[in-house]
């Protein structure tokens, strides 16, 4: 079985639920209280992709949304193989900035595979028109997710892991 | 001439002449065609124009035609007239390197690292050896009964003299090693000592990379690219060395010694040399690397022991100890009276040494008092004449009538290990350390503009930061909660900012460096949904303009 390690970066505006998504997905919270001061938190998850007979180790870089040092975010993005862009369904402004995050990714890690999470779907019924927020050709998938109910969280990471094994 | 010929001349005479002339010209041309020199002579004035025309018409085709032979032409020329080529290229070499570094820095580092790394390591280790030799020579040359006794005193106190000069005998041990891909933070290889357990090495690799990014980003100024070399925590050190696309992190107890940094440079150099391409293109699949080879190199770093360096030093340091022993025998045999005198002198010497060690101004310098029967000789170096005189005054007080011979040299020499260390660290600090943030808030009770006593520390901190950054100016923005009318809110907000300013001025900050503002609006981070009265009653501190450290010009 092939084994790969990949750097995955989570980006999104402050308070969209990046950290909660990771918490929901991983119970390993090794660095939870750590490194927050430098604006990034790192977690790890192993995931198997049977269709590609591959085992991927994802090193998840959760970038603090509030950090005001833009150049620092840029540095953290470099070298990423995958990106999870998160928006908050209850705050349209955070959905508008998804495009902006993707542009930044294109500049700094053009080969990175991108998935989009429209988070807090449990608070939003019915769902708004989502397609206009994502450039379809650039992202692998864009799913409504909920860290609270767990909706689509596994799916989102599975899509990304599959891409990492390609 | 016959009639026929006359008729012919009349009819075609002119043409015949022309044909003759033409035939002659054709003959001449045919000859020229057989003569390469003649062809060259005719063509050469036109060659430039032909090339110029071709460049204009079909540049790509010309490039295609010429490019296969360019390399051959160059190597041929370099072989035959290397100096001319060198002269022609020399003016642009520097520029080319600069461009290359700008666009492909990692490649250049990869290529140069094996050479430069070992040269630097060699230079550093040589300088260090020289330093040690100097100290040893000093120890050997300053023999006297007094120095021997000082050594004994030092021994009895459990502080060998050599340790006072330089923290030579500090133990250290490599506990773990991480070889990390620089860009992605992915772990390439890891090793640790058998008695050390490392949990989650992959995460540690990512975190170290994040920390590196953070520090490099924070300290990088004016586009300069530097590297973080060392992280110290208590007696543990993380020593980092970067080579092109990867870096090695060595976790050790104790301080980094030259023998270790030399080994790290050497082994990392070998790793980069052997697997430059594979490491650069690493994308998370360890099977693309020759991990066994990497492991062998890392093991060599893990195997470095302090004994390796002390063994080398022992040979040098042993013979003065023999001499000490011999001299001691001599002293013991010299008789009771002399022994008594020496004992007395030694006591004065110890007392003086203690005074010098505990004096705040002199503690950093190595002042060696040699107390003899009638004189006290002061040897060593201090930074200025004031300290020199101070040392002499102290000696006079304790010399019990002996004459003072002050041989202290005023020199800007680093004297103790501590000071050397401070200077090294100072060098590592960037010349201008930016003060990026000074975020602080003061909260107030309802309707009050009194700064709470718990905030005294904040005032002190800001005052001392402003002393450190004398160019710094700050802006205090006062806020109030939503109670009352706008005018009342503004007044109390202003009073709050004024209170903070007053306290800062009391703490020594010039009034002119503090600007005030009052706002009746919500503070920026509060909105209708997150609004809280207690949080809104506050004064925010903001930095104004570019901050430079006080000692940045030194």
State the residue range of the domain holding B362.
335-430
Does residue B444 sit within a domain?
Answer: yes
* DSSP reduced 3-state for A14: coil
Does residue B105 sit within a domain?
Answer: no
User: Hey, which residues does B409 pair with through a beta bridge?
Assistant: B381
Q: Is the pLDDT of residue A35 over 60?
A: no
Tell me how close the Cα of B183 comes to any Cα of chain A, in angstroms: 5
Which residue do the tokens 């790290």 mark?
Answer: B264
* Same structural domain, B189 and B276: yes
Task: Give me chain B's average pLDDT, please.
Answer: 78
* DSSP reduced 3-state for B545: coil
Instruction: Please give the residue that has the higher pLDDT: either B92 or B419.
Output: B92
**A-B interface: how many C-beta pairs under 8 angstroms?**
76
* Same structural domain, B501 and B450: yes
Tell me how close the Cα of B74 comes to any Cα of chain A, in angstroms: 38
Close Cβ partners of B8 (under 8 Å, ≥ 6 residues apart): B16
From chain B, the residues in CB contact with A3 under 8 A are: 285-287
Does residue B99 sit within a domain?
Answer: no
From chain A, the residues in CB contact with B283 under 8 A are: 4, 81
Indicate yes or no: CB of B185 within 8 angstroms of CB of A79: yes
From chain A, the residues in CB contact with B202 under 8 A are: 5, 44, 57, 59
First to last CA, chain A: 13
From chain B, the residues in CB contact with A79 under 8 A are: 181, 183-185
* Same structural domain, B115 and B36: no
pLDDT of residue A30: 42
From chain A, the residues in CB contact with B181 under 8 A are: 79
> How many Cα neighbours within 13 Å face the side chain of B27?
6
* CA nearest to A59 within chain B: B203
The CATH number linked to B189 is: 3.30.450.70
* CA nearest to B184 within chain A: A79
**Packing angle of the helix pair B36-103, B105-141 (nearest 10 deg):** 60
pLDDT tens figures, B101-114 = 777 777 777 777 77
User: Hey, which residues does A42 pair with through a beta bridge?
Assistant: A61
Q: Is B216 an 8 Å CB contact of chain A? A: yes
* Same structural domain, B120 and B222: yes
Instruction: Please give the residue that has the higher pLDDT: either B295 or B224.
Output: B295
Indicate yes or no: CB of A5 within 8 angstroms of CB of B187: yes
Which residue do the tokens 């790192």 mark?
Answer: A42
Close Cβ partners of B181 (under 8 Å, ≥ 6 residues apart): A79, B187, B188, B245, B246, B279, B282
Total structural domains within chain A? 1
Residue B183 has its nearest CB partner, among A44, A72, A78, at A78
CA B63 to chain centre: 45
pLDDT band at B95 (very low <50, low <70, confident <90, very high): confident
Q: Is the pLDDT of residue B453 over 80?
A: yes
The CATH number linked to B394 is: 3.30.1340.30
Q: Is the pLDDT of residue A31 over 50?
A: no
First to last CA, chain B: 114
Residue A75 has its nearest CB partner, among B200, B202, B217, at B217
Ordered DSSP codes for B197-249: --S-HHHHHHHHHHHHHHHHHHH--TT------EEEETTEEEEEEEETTEEEE
Does residue B160 sit within a domain?
Answer: yes
Does residue B491 sit within a domain?
Answer: yes
Given a contact cutoff of 8 angstroms between Cβ atoms, the answer to whether B202 and B187 are in contact is yes
- pLDDT mean over A85-104: 92
Indicate yes or no: CB of A39 within 8 angstroms of CB of B214: yes
* Same structural domain, B388 and B459: no
For A71: left if phi > 0, alpha if psi spans -120 to 50, otherwise beta; the answer is alpha
Phi, psi angles (nearest 5°) of residue B82: -55, -40
pLDDT band at B414 (very low <50, low <70, confident <90, very high): very low
Burial class of residue A68 in the structure, from the number of CB atoms within 10 Å of its CB (0-12 exposed, 13-18 middle, 19+ buried):
exposed
Mean pLDDT lowest among B48-62, B409-423, B443-457: B409-423
pLDDT band at B361 (very low <50, low <70, confident <90, very high): confident
Report the alpha-carbon distance of residue B163 to residue B395 in Å, rounded: 24
User: Hey, which residues does B238 pair with through a beta bridge?
Assistant: B231, B251
From chain B, the residues in CB contact with A75 under 8 A are: 213-214, 216-217
> How many Cα neighbours within 13 Å face the side chain of B515?
9
Q: Is the pLDDT of residue B395 over 80?
A: yes
Mean pLDDT lowest among B114-118, B202-206, B385-389: B114-118
For B227: left if phi > 0, alpha if psi spans -120 to 50, otherwise beta; the answer is beta
Nearest one of B146, B76, B531 to B377, comparing CA atoms: B146
Q: What separation in angstroms does the CA of B200 have from each of A45, B158, B205, B207, B210? A: 11, 41, 9, 11, 16
pLDDT band at A144 (very low <50, low <70, confident <90, very high): very high
pLDDT band at B177 (very low <50, low <70, confident <90, very high): very high
pLDDT tens figures, B508-543 = 899 899 999 998 887 877 777 777 788 888 999 888
Report the alpha-carbon distance of residue A17 to residue A122 in Å, rounded: 13
- pLDDT mean over B352-369: 79
Does residue B84 sit within a domain?
Answer: yes
* Same structural domain, B149 and B295: yes
Q: Is the pLDDT of residue A102 over 60?
A: yes
Tell me how close the Cα of A58 comes to any Cα of chain B, in angstroms: 10
Instruction: Please give the residue that has the higher pLDDT: either A71 or B189.
Output: B189
The helix, strand and coil proportions of chain B, stated in percent and rounded to the nearest 5, come to 60, 15, 25
* CA nearest to B199 within chain A: A30
- pLDDT mean over B32-50: 84
Q: Is B188 an 8 Å CB contact of chain A? A: no
SS (H, E, C) B299-312: HHHHCCCHHHHHHH
pLDDT of residue B185: 93
* Same structural domain, B547 and B482: yes
Which residue do the tokens 């270790």 mark?
Answer: B260
Report the alpha-carbon distance of residue B368 to residue B164 in Å, rounded: 12
The CATH number linked to A90 is: 3.40.50.300
pLDDT of residue B154: 65
Tell me how close the Cα of B261 comes to any Cα of chain A, in angstroms: 28
Total structural domains within chain B? 4
Report the alpha-carbon distance of residue B287 to residue B291 in Å, rounded: 8
Ordered DSSP codes for B75-118: HHHHHHHHHHHHHHHHHHHHHHHHHHHHH-HHHHHHHHHHHHHH
From chain A, the residues in CB contact with B217 under 8 A are: 69, 71-72, 75
Helices (H) and strands (E) counted in chain A, each on its own, are: 4, 6
State the residue range of the domain holding A88.
2-164
* Same structural domain, B402 and B299: no
Indicate yes or no: CB of B206 within 8 angstroms of CB of A59: yes
pLDDT of residue B487: 87
Domain termination residue (choose one: B396, B430, B464): B430
pLDDT band at B316 (very low <50, low <70, confident <90, very high): very low
pLDDT of residue B550: 52
* Same structural domain, B357 and B480: no
* Same structural domain, B83 and B115: no
Given a contact cutoff of 8 angstroms between Cβ atoms, the answer to whether A139 and A114 are in contact is yes
Give the helix/strand (H/E) hosting B270.
helix B258-280
The CATH number linked to B506 is: 3.30.1330.60
Indicate yes or no: CB of B211 within 8 angstroms of CB of A38: yes
Q: Is the pLDDT of residue B319 over 50?
A: no
Mean pLDDT lowest among A26-30, B296-300, B425-429: A26-30
């Amino acid at each position: 079985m092939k084994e790969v390690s990949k750097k995955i970066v989570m980006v999104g505006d402050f308070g969209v639920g990046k950290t909660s998504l990771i918490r929901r997905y991983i119970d390993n919270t090794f660095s939870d209280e750590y490194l927050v001061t430098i604006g990034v938190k790192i977690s790890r998850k192993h995931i198997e992709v049977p269709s590609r007979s591959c085992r991927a180790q994802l090193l998840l870089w959760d970038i603090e949304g509030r950090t005001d040092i833009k150049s620092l975010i840029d540095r953290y993005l470099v070298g990423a193989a995958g990106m999870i862009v998160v928006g908050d369904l209850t705050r349209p402004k955070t959905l508008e900035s998804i495009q902006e995050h993707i542009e930044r990714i294109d500049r700094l890690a053009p080969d990175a595979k991108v998935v989009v999470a429209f988070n807090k779907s449990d608070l939003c019924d019915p769902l708004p028109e989502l397609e206009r927020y994502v450039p379809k050709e650039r992202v692998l998938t864009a799913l409504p997710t909920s860290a609270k109910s767990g909706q689509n969280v596994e799916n989102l990471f599975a899509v990304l892991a599959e891409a990492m094994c390609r | 001439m016959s009639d026929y010929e006359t008729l012919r001349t009349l009819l075609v005479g002119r043409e015949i002449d022309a044909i003759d002339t033409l035939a002659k010209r054709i003959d001449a041309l045919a000859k020229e065609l057989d003569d390469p020199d003649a062809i060259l002579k005719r063509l050469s004035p036109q060659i430039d124009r032909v090339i110029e025309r071709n460049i204009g018409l079909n540049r790509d085709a010309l490039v295609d035609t010429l490019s296969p032979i360019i390399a051959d032409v160059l190597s041929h020329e370099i072989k035959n007239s290397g100096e001319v080529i060198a002269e022609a290229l020399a003016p642009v070499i520097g520029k080319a390197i600069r461009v290359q570094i700008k666009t492909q820095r990692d490649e250049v580092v990869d290529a140069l690292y094996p050479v430069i790394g070992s040269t630097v390591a060699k230079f550093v280790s040589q300088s260090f050896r020289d330093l040690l030799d100097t100290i040893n020579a000093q120890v050997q040359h300053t023999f006297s009964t007094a120095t021997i006794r000082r050594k004994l005193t030092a021994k009895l106190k459990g502080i060998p003299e050599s340790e006072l000069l330089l923290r030579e005998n500090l133990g250290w041990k490599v506990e773990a090693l991480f070889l990390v891909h620089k860009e992605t933070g992915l772990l390439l290889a890891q090793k640790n000592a058998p008695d050390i357990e490392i949990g989650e090495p992959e995460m540690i690799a990512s975190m170290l990379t994040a920390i590196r990014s953070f520090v490099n980003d924070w300290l990088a100024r004016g586009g300069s690219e530097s590297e973080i070399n060392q992280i110290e925590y208590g007696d543990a050190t993380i020593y980092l060395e970067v080579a092109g696309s990867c870096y090695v992190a060595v976790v050790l107890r104790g301080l980094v010694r030259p023998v270790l940094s030399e080994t790290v440079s050497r082994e990392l150099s070998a790793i980069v040399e052997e697997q430059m391409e594979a490491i650069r293109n690493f994308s998370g699949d360890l099977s693309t690397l020759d991990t066994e080879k990497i492991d062998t190199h890392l093991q060599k770093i893990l195997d470095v022991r302090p004994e390796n360096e002390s063994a080398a030093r022992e040979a040098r340091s042993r013979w003065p100890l023999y001499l000490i022993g011999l001299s001691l025998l001599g002293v013991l045999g010299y008789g009771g009276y002399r022994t008594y005198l020496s004992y007395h002198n030694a006591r004065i010497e110890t007392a003086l040494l203690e005074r010098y060690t505990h004096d705040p101004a002199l503690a950093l310098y190595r002042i060696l008092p040699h107390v003899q029967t009638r004189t006290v000789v002061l040897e060593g170096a201090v930074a200025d004449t004031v300290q020199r005189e101070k040392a002499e005054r102290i000696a006079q007080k304790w010399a019990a009538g002996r004459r003072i011979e002050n041989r202290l040299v005023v020199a800007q020499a680093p004297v103790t290990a501590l000071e050397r260390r401070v200077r090294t660290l100072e060098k590592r600090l960037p010349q201008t350390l930016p003060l990026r943030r000074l975020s602080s808030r003061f909260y107030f009770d309802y309707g009050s503009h009194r700064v709470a006593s718990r905030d005294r520390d904040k005032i002190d901190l800001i005052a001392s930061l402003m002393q450190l950054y004398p160019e710094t100016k700050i802006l205090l923005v006062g806020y109030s909660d939503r109670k009352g009318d706008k005018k009342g809110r503004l007044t109390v907000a202003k009073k709050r900012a004024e209170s903070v300013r007053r306290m800062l001025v009391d703490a020594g900050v010039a009034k002119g460096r503090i600007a005030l503002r009052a706002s009746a609006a919500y503070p920026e981070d509060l909105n209708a949904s997150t609004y809280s009265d207690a949080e809104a009653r506050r004064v925010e501190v903001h930095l104004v303009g570019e901050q430079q450290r006080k000692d940045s010009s030194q």
